[in-house]
A and B are shown apart, each in its own frame.
Chain A
Amino acid sequence: MMECEDYREKFVHEELTEKEQSEFKEHLKNCAECRAFVKNYNQMREFIKLRTEFRASNILKNKIVSRVKFKNATKRIFRVALPTAALIVLGTFYTMSSFSTKDVMYEKVALSGIKMLNSNPATEVNSQSNLDYLVKIKYASDQF
């Protein structure tokens, strides 16, 4: 009869003869440590087999690729597109507001003149400008 260590070594290297295999099976029934070893070894082997022999299906592949692409795209959005979009939005807002304030400005400027056009001009010196001396020249100068 072999010792536990011998059985385990031959088992791992698949060197157990048929007779030894039957003996090892009988030994496992009574040896809890060897059962635990065999169980762990088989689990590890399954895992290794999975790592080395697993081929993902096309569906899974596509899923993974699209997930990766999505992640990259999201990253890109946060890194580039989002700031760009923000800039565009801000730019558009600024331009629009600039246009609108310009329009308001022209309208304001125009309204002052239209008011004057619709009213009867003053009959005496009536100016609100630092250039009002031009009007005063006219009134100071004797015309004939």
Chain B
Amino acid sequence: MKKLFSLSVLLLLASVAFSSLIKDIVSSYASQVIEGHRIVVEQEKGSTTKIRYENILRNGYNEIVKIVAPQQFEWSSIGEKTYIVFGNKMRLSPATIVDAEQTFIKDVSKASTIVSTSTTYYHGVKSLKLVIKSRNATYTAMILEPSLIIGYLKIDHKKGSITIDYDWIKAIPLSYFNAVIEKFKIIKKPPSSMEIYLWKLVSKLDNVSITSISIRDISVVIVSGKTNLNKIIVAYVFQSGQDISTSDLTAQFKSKGFTALSIKKDDVEMVLITKMKLDQLREWINEVFK
């Protein structure tokens, strides 16, 4: 009985210690100002592996992420809003960009269990190796000591895994971060309906590509990609009011034996073509624009 009591007390103390450790990591994250370079590897079951090289400048949850490879792209998250960086301007993004590292912090701060902790060295720096389980994923993290900066994070989730590996990271003064932010002009104008509907299509297609064509002063954006059923869809998207008829365009595809459907959302016209059956296309459209 005494042994059982002692074990319970130990478990309780361990639990309190773990919970306090998570709290420390979360609160430390919110106050860290860092600059670093990381490699992000996304692996999805049955899909190709995606690798990104990113430069990070972060102040708590506010950050500027510059993807340097494979395709240059810069975005930022400031005040829980996502911006796309164009030169020295930041424009509101039509979609939220998720940084898995921040998802980890938010996820473990809610309901999570520390499976194991151990002390190790990461890139020569004494670190805490934690394995934490939440409802959504299992996290393996290397937390540098004593700064509690995340040096490495692996997320194993239902569909695959994401690995974030900092090859260098350092704490920087807040004034440096603020000076960088002040150089940007933040445009809070909401994204256009064209951007919003294009994003809806892009977000639901794999291996997606966007092409813009312009014929006789008519601008058409063509989005193509694969649906979750591995069927190719091509969508013609253009601003309504242009000298282009959706019925004429639809007729072109129907005459060639393809399934085509035109829809209008606000001031955006779309013609979608596929080899799928019309009912399947309709179903997919409803799913995308619900």
Considering only CB atoms, which chain A residue lies closest to B103 in the complex?
A142
Q: Which of B70, B97, B203 is close to A124, meaning CB atoms less than 8 Å apart?
A: B70
Q: Which of A106, A121, A128, A143 is close to B208, meaning CB atoms less than 8 Å apart?
A: A121
B110 close to A (CB within 8 Å) = no
Question: How many chain-B residues does the 8 Å CB contact rule pick out?
Answer: 65
Q: Which of A105, A121, A135, A142 is close to B42, meaning CB atoms less than 8 Å apart?
A: A142
Considering only CB atoms, which chain A residue lies closest to B245 in the complex?
A106
B249 close to A (CB within 8 Å) = yes
Chain B residues within 8 Å of A131, by CB: 195, 198, 210, 212, 221
A30 close to B (CB within 8 Å) = no
Stretch of B25-33, B115-123, B171-179, B222-230 on the interface side: B222-230
In the bound complex, how far is the Cα of B211 from the Cα of A113, in angstroms? 10
- Per-residue CB contact flags for chain A residues 115-144 toward chain B (1 = under 8 Å, else 0) read 011001111111111111111111111111
In the bound complex, how far is the Cα of B216 from the Cα of A120, in angstroms? 29
Contact at B225–A137, with CB atoms within 8 Å? no
In the bound complex, how far is the Cα of B69 from the Cα of A139, in angstroms? 11
In the bound complex, how far is the Cα of B220 from the Cα of A124, in angstroms? 22
Chain A residues within 8 Å of B96, by CB: 141
- Given A137-B84, A141-B97, A144-B155, check contact A113 B210 (CB 8 Å): no
Contact at B232–A121, with CB atoms within 8 Å? yes
Q: Which of A101, A107, A134, A143 is close to B216, meaning CB atoms less than 8 Å apart?
A: A101
In the bound complex, how far is the Cα of B196 from the Cα of A131, in angstroms? 11
Interface residues on A, range: 35 or more
In the bound complex, how far is the Cα of B97 from the Cα of A106, in angstroms? 36
Contact at A144–B97, with CB atoms within 8 Å? no
- Given A129-B210, A135-B210, A136-B73, check contact A116 B224 (CB 8 Å): yes
Contact at B137–A144, with CB atoms within 8 Å? yes
B186 close to A (CB within 8 Å) = no
B2 close to A (CB within 8 Å) = no
Contact at B258–A117, with CB atoms within 8 Å? yes
Contact at B224–A140, with CB atoms within 8 Å? no
Contact at B100–A110, with CB atoms within 8 Å? no
Contact at A134–B275, with CB atoms within 8 Å? no
Of residues 230 through 275 on chain B, the ones whose CB sits less than 8 Å from some CB of chain A are 232, 234, 236, 244, 248-249, 252-253, 256, 258, 273-275
Q: Which of B65, B70, B103, B209 is close to A121, meaning CB atoms less than 8 Å apart?
A: B209
In the bound complex, how far is the Cα of B210 from the Cα of A132, in angstroms? 6
A98 to B: closest C-beta gap in Å = 10
A108 close to B (CB within 8 Å) = yes
Contact at A113–B99, with CB atoms within 8 Å? no
Chain A residues within 8 Å of B111, by CB: none
Chain B residues within 8 Å of A140, by CB: 52, 65, 67, 73, 75, 97
Contact at A138–B202, with CB atoms within 8 Å? yes
Contact at A125–B70, with CB atoms within 8 Å? yes
Contact at B215–A105, with CB atoms within 8 Å? yes
Contact at B209–A135, with CB atoms within 8 Å? yes
Q: What are 10 A-B pairs at a CB distance below 8 A?
A: A116-B232, A120-B207, A121-B207, A122-B209, A131-B210, A131-B221, A137-B93, A137-B95, A137-B202, A144-B160
The 6 A-B pairs at the shortest CB distance, nearest first, are namely: A142-B100, A129-B212, A121-B207, A110-B252, A144-B157, A136-B73
